[in-house]
Amino acid sequence: MPIKLLDKATIARIAAGEVIERPASVVKELLENSLDAEAKRVDIVIREGGIGYIEVSDDGCGITSSEVLLAFERHATSKLSSFEDIYAIASLGFRGEALPSIAAVADLEMLTAVRTEESGTYLSLSGGEMLKHTRMARAAGTSIRLSRLFSRVPARLKFLKTPQHEASKVTEVVVSYALAYPEVKFSLNVDGRNTLNTPGNGKLRDAVLEVYGSDAASKMLDLENDTYRSSAINISGLVSPPEVSRSNRNSLHFFVNRRLIQSRALQRAVEQAYSGLLTAGRYPMGVINIRLSGALVDVNIHPTKAEVKFSDESAVFTSVQRAVRSVLVEKPPLLHVEEARPVYQPEAGRQEHIWAEVQKLPNANTSYISPVIQSAKTSSLPLLRLVGQVGGLYLLAEGPDGLYIIDQHAAHERIRYEEIAAETYSARACQSLLEPFILELNPVQEAMIEKCKSELELMGFEMEEFGRRVYRVKSIPAGLKAHQAKALLAELADNPKDAPAEIKERLIRLMACHTAVRAGQVLTDAEMRELLLKLEKTGIPGHCPHGRPTIVKIDFSQLEKDFKRT
């Protein structure tokens, strides 16, 4: 094939692929332009996850009529005056200006005005080609509307996920910049629903309150403390105390010179600061602002400017770690001791029936539990004799070949998982709550709950909107307690999934986890025997639904060796 120059349209679409990955990429670039234009208010509207429609309007400085067309030329920028400026960028640019890339993959309309001109400028583009250019009235600022995103790049369109998922990605971007710029008033409208409205009063805690709710905002710890500031690196922001955590890292936001970034190194720095204060699988919340000289950070290593490179990464890592650890040490975590009480109740008369069946077995001993009672299948567990409970955590049982240690929560979780999974939706009972509870969500969590609403209703949850991003839960699945249901919904909202099958599977696992006996709960002998009997009848008795082992066996031969009997 001969070498040839590509046409301008193809070059533009290839370049757009580096910068514009999904609707959230468009919103991010337009938001950054608005913030660089010193906007005090930014309004975002999306439909169909941003695939169908995106609008970003601001009250910034606008673009003069003589420069509007130039703004859509490749390599045109207002953020560099010389090559040397690229080594110390003070704005939210560069790797490259995004307007030409956006215009190449969508139908675009722009209306912009500056305070020094009598009227604004309207421009309409389709696939990068100008359709209309005229003067039009507008207050100072810029509005950009996009439609038919990626319609000319079907390969890119094919790999987008569901509109709900894309909307959640857009929401994450807007939420992040709302936290980075608390002095700017942000609003976000998703498919006609107003999901975010920040006050824009310059107070970070008030922005956190709007995004994460009053409980989290009131407990966040202030990082602004002179004890860990330095002339080169300044760390500020808010972090959560150990008692406020999430099941994923989505609530941890990093900004370098107010630029949103992703950094595994900084995530590790924060997690190390919480070492010994959070249980496995729990992560802190935080808004961490890092300020340092632009000459000490390179923002041009990633096409979408999502990652940066520090000239001294270890110094930044140490500064973040010490800043977070210092504030946690100043306010040590409080231990909350709750009364341990059993919640697992065997069916009435069940134990008497079991032991009547045991007595019929040849050479039966009532201290043993048979794996074949009322079960045609062969169990992978041998005949076990219950010994007792240790530490409110583990059951001890004797088998023919050793000592069996059973994690009571993991074992009951396996039992509950298979019981719930075997139920049909039509047979699944729900219970009305005498006192409905309130679920307060951030915008990303709300998008997840909306996506799961049909599955939640089939599982037995009945909820209704009770204000903006607030739901009142009136009914829950039978067997679930109100506090368990609230914790389940919060954990579900923190972990977005896409496919309906994944949502259903996750719901079953969560219900199994939240209705299983807890660590520290004291069980009676009858309850322990019932738990062992049901575990023996499960399909996979050796592991809980999350893959953790339910049973550890110590061979008698190992015990004899340890006690020097051999």
Q: What is the CATH number of the domain that holds 106?
A: 3.30.565.10
Per-residue CA distances from 224 to 96, 99, 326, 390, 551 (Å):
33, 37, 11, 46, 48
Is residue 346 assigned to a domain?
no
Is residue 1 assigned to a domain?
no
* Residue 449 near residue 489, CB atoms below 8 Å: yes
Which residue is it, tokens 């100072």? 140
The encoded tokens of residue 274 equal: 């919480």
Is residue 347 assigned to a domain?
no
Rounded to the nearest angstrom, the gap between the alpha carbon of residue 282 and the centroid of all alpha carbons in its chain is 12
| In a shared domain, residues 213 and 122 | no
Which residue is it, tokens 């409970």? 389
Q: What is the H or E stretch that residue 47 is in? A: strand 41-47
**Residue 25 φ then ψ, to 5°:** -65, -40
| In a shared domain, residues 46 and 182 | yes
Cα–Cα dist 282/516, whole Å:
19
Look up residue 258 and give its amino acid: R
The four Cα atoms 551, 557, 560, 562 give a dihedral, to 10 degrees, of -60
Cα–Cα dist 341/552, whole Å:
25
Is residue 343 assigned to a domain?
no
Per-residue pLDDT, 543: 77
Domain boundary among 170, 200, 230: 200
Question: What CATH number does residue 422 fall under?
Answer: 3.30.1540.20
The 10 Å CB-count burial string (b at 16+, else e) for 86-95 is: eeebebbbeb
User: Please, where are the H alpha helices in 293-429?
Assistant: 313-330, 350-359, 408-422
Domain boundary among 330, 346, 377: 330
Strand partners, 125: 108, 130
Cα–Cα dist 23/156, whole Å:
11
Domain boundary among 156, 176, 200: 200
* Strands 252-256 vs 53-58: parallel, antiparallel or unpaired: unpaired
pTM to 2 decimal places: 0.66
Per-residue pLDDT, 344: 29
Per-residue pLDDT, 373: 27
* Residue 544 near residue 550, CB atoms below 8 Å: yes
Per-residue pLDDT, 357: 37
**Residue 189 φ then ψ, to 5°:** -120, 120
Cα–Cα dist 425/457, whole Å:
10
Per-residue CA distances from 562 to 329, 552, 558, 559, 565 (Å):
42, 17, 6, 5, 8
| In a shared domain, residues 242 and 193 | no
Q: Which residues lie closer than 8 Å to 476 by C-beta, 6 or more apart?
A: 430, 431, 433, 460, 461, 462, 482, 485
**Half-sphere exposure (Cβ direction) of 299: Cα atoms closer than 13 Å:** 25
Question: What CATH number does residue 268 fall under?
Answer: 3.30.230.10
Reduce the DSSP state of residue 313 to 3 states and report it: helix
| In a shared domain, residues 103 and 183 | yes
Is residue 341 assigned to a domain?
no
| In a shared domain, residues 423 and 465 | yes
| In a shared domain, residues 212 and 323 | yes
Which residue is it, tokens 């996979």? 540
Strand partners, 549: 543
Cα–Cα dist 84/296, whole Å:
14
* Nearest CA-CA partner of 89 in 241, 288, 297: 297
| In a shared domain, residues 266 and 247 | yes
| In a shared domain, residues 535 and 487 | yes
The 10 Å CB-count burial string (b at 16+, else e) for 231-266 is: eebebbbbbbbbebbbeeebbbbbbbbebbbebeeb
What is the arrangement of strands in the sheet containing 193-197, beginning at the earlier edge strand?
129-136, 120-126, 107-113, 141-147, 53-58, 41-47, 185-190, 193-197
The domain tally of the chain equals 3
Is residue 344 assigned to a domain?
no
| In a shared domain, residues 189 and 242 | no
pLDDT tens digits in sequence order for the chain, 566 residues long: 676 665 666 555 555 445 678 999 999 999 999 998 999 999 999 999 999 999 999 999 999 999 888 888 866 665 555 545 555 565 575 544 678 888 888 999 999 999 999 899 999 999 888 899 999 999 999 999 999 998 888 878 888 888 999 999 999 999 999 999 999 999 999 999 999 999 999 999 999 999 998 888 999 999 974 444 556 889 999 999 888 888 888 899 999 888 888 888 899 999 888 876 776 788 999 999 998 887 777 766 555 556 677 878 888 888 999 899 888 877 544 333 232 223 323 334 433 333 333 333 333 333 333 332 233 334 457 777 889 999 889 999 988 888 999 999 999 998 988 888 887 665 567 888 888 999 888 888 888 888 888 888 888 888 888 888 888 999 988 878 888 888 888 888 887 655 555 777 788 888 888 888 888 888 899 999 999 888 888 877 877 887 678 888 888 888 888 888 87
| Domain with 98 in it | 8-200
Cα–Cα dist 44/190, whole Å:
9
Per-residue pLDDT, 338: 31
User: Please, where are the H alpha helices in 334-481?
Assistant: 350-359, 408-422, 443-459
| In a shared domain, residues 470 and 564 | yes
Q: What is the H or E stretch that residue 72 is in? A: none
| In a shared domain, residues 371 and 505 | yes
Cα–Cα dist 384/396, whole Å:
10
Cα–Cα dist 189/468, whole Å:
12
| In a shared domain, residues 54 and 82 | yes
- 555-562 CB contacts, 8 Å cutoff, 24+ apart: 555/401, 555/402, 556/401, 556/402, 556/403, 557/402, 558/402, 559/402, 559/403
